[in-house]
C-alpha cells in the first residue's frame, strides 16, 4: 500500500474529533500504563504523517509510575500541542519526550518538545479560558475539579527552544490503595 498524505491527514482529523468527544465525556481514571499505550497509538499515526526521521519520540518512564491512576485523556492534548504548535513548522523536525517518575509528593509526568516554543504573552494565554484553544484550559480545569489544589500543571516554554509541560498528581495506585468509592465519586463531576 502506498503512503497517501491526504488519507493520513483525514485519519488524523477524524481521530482528533473522536478524542475531543472522549475528552468531553464523563471523567474516568486509568492506570498511567494505559494512557501511555493510548499515546503510543496516537503517535504511531503522527509518525506516519511526519516520517520517523522528522518526529522522534523518546520515552523515559519509571516502571513504578505506570500503576498510578490518572485521569484518562490527560496527555493526548499535550502531545498534540507539541506536534501541532511545537514541531510541525520545523523543517528538520524535532523530538517529543514523554517522562514519568515518582517523587516525594506524588506522580510527575512531563511532555516536552524541542520545537518553536512560546513567547511570554502566549504562555500566559495558553491556559486561560479566554485563549483561542480549549486543550490546556480543559486539562487545567479537569485537574482542579478532580484534585483541587493537590495537582499542578506548569508550563515552561522558551521561544525557539521548546516547551515543557509538567503535571504533578497525588499518588493513587491502581486497585487497593484507593479509598472505596473514590473514582465513582469523582467520575461524574464534569460533562
Ligand X SMILES: Nc1ncnc2c1ncn2[C@@H]1O[C@H](COP(=O)(O)OP(=O)(O)OP(=O)(O)O)[C@@H](O)[C@H]1O
Q: Which residues bind ligand X (CB under 6 A)?
A: 77, 81-82, 85-86, 113, 115-118, 122, 126, 131-137, 163
Smallest gap from residue 116 Cβ to ligand X (A): 6
CB nearer ligand X, residue 33 or residue 152: 152
Q: Tell me if 93 contacts Mg ion by CB under 5 A.
A: no
Q: What's the CA gap between 2 and 10, in Å, rounded?
A: 15
- Number of residues that this document lists for the chain: 191
CB nearer ligand X, residue 31 or residue 117: 117
Smallest gap from residue 121 Cβ to ligand X (A): 10
CB nearer ligand X, residue 65 or residue 126: 126
Smallest gap from residue 90 Cβ to Mg ion (A): 17
Let me know: does 110 contact 152? Beta carbons within 8 Å: no
CB nearer ligand X, residue 82 or residue 100: 82
Smallest gap from residue 190 Cβ to ligand X (A): 16
Q: Tell me if 81 contacts Mg ion by CB under 5 A.
A: yes
For Mg ion, which stretch binds (CB under 5 A), given 93-101, 133-141, 163-171, 173-181? 133-141
Residue 9 phi/psi, 5-degree rounding, is -60, -40
Let me know: does 27 contact 72? Beta carbons within 8 Å: yes
Q: What's the CA gap between 92 and 90, in Å, rounded?
A: 5
- Measured from the Cβ of residue 54, the count of other Cβ atoms closer than 10 Å reads 15
CB nearer ligand X, residue 106 or residue 135: 135
- 3-class secondary-structure state, position 50: helix
| Angle at the Cα of 137 from the Cα atoms of 132 and 140, rounded to 5 degrees | 170
Amino acid at each position: 500500500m502506498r503512503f497517501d498524505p491526504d488519507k493520513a491527514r483525514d485519519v488524523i482529523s477524524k481521530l482528533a474529533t473522536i478524542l475531543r468527544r472522549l475528552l468531553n465525556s464523563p471523567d474516568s481514571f486509568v492506570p498511567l500504563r494505559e494512557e501511555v499505550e493510548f499515546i503510543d497509538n496516537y503517535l504511531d499515526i503522527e509518525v506516519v504523517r511526519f516520517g520517523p526521521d522528522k518526529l522522534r519520540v523518546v520515552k523515559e518512564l519509571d516502571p513504578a509510575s505506570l500503576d498510578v491512576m490518572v485521569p484518562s485523556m490527560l496527555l493526548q492534548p499535550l502531545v498534540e500541542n507539541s506536534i501541532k504548535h511545537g514541531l510541525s513548522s520545523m523543517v528538520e523536525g524535532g523530538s517529543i519526550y514523554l517522562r514519568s517518575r515518582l517523587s516525594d509528593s506524588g506522580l510527575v509526568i512531563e511532555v516536552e518538545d524541542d520545537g518553536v516554543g512560546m513567547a511570554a504573552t502566549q504562555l500566559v494565554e495558553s491556559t486561560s479560558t479566554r485563549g483561542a484553544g480549549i486543550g490546556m484550559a480543559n486539562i487545567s480545569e479537569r485537574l482542579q475539579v478532580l484534585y483541587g489544589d493537590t495537582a499542578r500543571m506548569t508550563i515552561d516554554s522558551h521561544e525557539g527552544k521548546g516547551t515543557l509541560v509538567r503535571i504533578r498528581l497525588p499518588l493513587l495506585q491502581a486497585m487497593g490503595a484507593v479509598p472505596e468509592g473514590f473514582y465513582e465519586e469523582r467520575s461524574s463531576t464534569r460533562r
